[in-house]
Amino acid sequence: MYVLGIETSCDDTCCAVLKDDRQILSSVVSSQVDFHRKYGGVVPEVASRKHLELLPWVTQEALSRAKIGLETMDLIAVTMGPGLMGSLLMGTCWAKSLALCFNVPIVGVNHLEGHLFAAYLEHQNLAPPFVALIASGGHTELIAVKEWGTYHLLGRTRDDAAGEAFDKIAKFLGLGYPGGPIIDLLSQEGNPSRFVFKAGFEDEDNFEFSFSGLKTAVIRAYQSLEIGPGDIKDLIASFQESVVRVLTKKTIFAAKKLNFKKIVVGGGVAANRALRKRLQEEAQKEGLEVYLPSKSFCTDNAAMVAACGYFHFVRNPQRYFSVKTLEPDPKLGIT
């Protein structure tokens, strides 16, 4: 069975071709970052226009890399939410048009569930139960997964998402956009113990997160200490350390509390080198297994969407939509 995945929930225009559940024949991600960089963040209006422009090219590219035609597709899986309304509209309209023209069934995919399927794609032996941490540009959530498709929210951020904190601090410090990969890289040369920062709820035995106060503390430290250019790396390394610490601590706490032996991580922040290393080290000490997608599948891509769509289509064909009923939902939750 051949699945065409389409993902346009934010500012990446993505298309992938999957054979059955995990064989990735192609995965194309056209980043719009150069168009948004000058604004220091995603401009929703610009993102939707760019999706409109890029979707035909990205789809064609994914098909030609997979050496396959649209007429061979058995299923189209498209992100229906959560995300930016304009961006979701572009992807779902495009997917619906293709489904109609080529008479192919269409399935709507939850973007957050897609982030979990990034780990599924690459780990054949991954089976629930597990604790999932989704840490991305818009979400920081801990979820208990007893079986694929059934999710129980344990806790989430009360304000900013972890990725959002990376992006906002990088923007404030004039380091560029998106902030996560830049801070990840520059932090390698910084001293993470120079400043002591703490994210909200770090010392509480619960599954809640808060990153807004942390962001303010980093900005205050920068302003009040008259930090010179040479100190920036220490500042951001210390910030990153506090994010890595709280994400690791809460995720392991959740796994132990639920007595689950596995941890799955998804979302752009899962690409962070320090987080990947710390989680693996700490989990090993506790006898837990960590399943991480490779870095390119942590951030938005359509292979994870195709895998998720295929999974649901095969198990529950009721779930697929007609081109008339599939509508984007910017606030779609995973639980």
Q: Taking the CB of residue 156, how many other CB atoms lie within 10 A of it?
A: 17
Residue 113: which of Fe ion, ligand ATP, none does it interact with, CB under 5 to 8 A by kind? none
Instruction: Compute the distance between CA of residue 281 and CA of residue 268 in angstroms, rounded to an integer.
Output: 20
The dihedrals phi and psi of 317, each to the nearest 5 degrees, come to: -65, -15
- Please give the residue ranges that form the binding site for ligand ATP (CB under 6 A): 9-10, 82-83, 111, 115, 136-139, 163-164, 166-167, 178-181, 184, 267-269, 271-272, 299-300
Q: The dihedral of CA 274, 276, 282, 284: what is its sign?
A: negative
Instruction: Compute the distance between CA of residue 34 and CA of residue 184 in angstroms, rounded to an integer.
Output: 19
Q: Min. distance of Cβ 154 from Fe ion in angstroms?
A: 19
Q: Min. distance of Cβ 100 from Fe ion in angstroms?
A: 27
CB 179 within 8 A of CB 170: yes
Q: Min. distance of Cβ 298 from ligand ATP in angstroms?
A: 7
* H helix or E strand, kind and range, residue 210: none
Instruction: Compute the distance between CA of residue 97 and CA of residue 100 in angstroms, rounded to an integer.
Output: 5
CB 290 within 8 A of CB 158: no
Residue 184: which of Fe ion, ligand ATP, none does it interact with, CB under 5 to 8 A by kind? ligand ATP
Encode 290-328 in three state secondary structure.
EECCCHHHHCCCCHHHHHHHHHHHHHCHHHCECCCCCCC
> Residues 297 to 316: which contact Fe ion by CB under 5 A?
300
Output 132 or 252, the one with its CB closest to Fe ion: 132
Q: Min. distance of Cβ 46 from ligand ATP in angstroms?
A: 14
Output 63 or 160, the one with its CB closest to ligand ATP: 160
Residue 141: which of Fe ion, ligand ATP, none does it interact with, CB under 5 to 8 A by kind? none
Q: Min. distance of Cβ 16 from ligand ATP in angstroms?
A: 15
Q: Min. distance of Cβ 51 from ligand ATP in angstroms?
A: 13
Residue 205 has which token pair? 């035995």
Which x/- pattern, by CB under 5 A, does the window 117-156 give for Fe ion? Answer: -------------------x--------------------
Output 200 or 266, the one with its CB closest to ligand ATP: 266
Residue 5: which of Fe ion, ligand ATP, none does it interact with, CB under 5 to 8 A by kind? none
Output 164 or 241, the one with its CB closest to ligand ATP: 164
Query: Taking the chain, what is the end-to-end CA distance rounded to the nearest angstrom?
Result: 28
**What residue type is assigned to position 221 of the chain?**
A
Give contact residues for Fe ion (rule: CB under 5 A): 136, 300
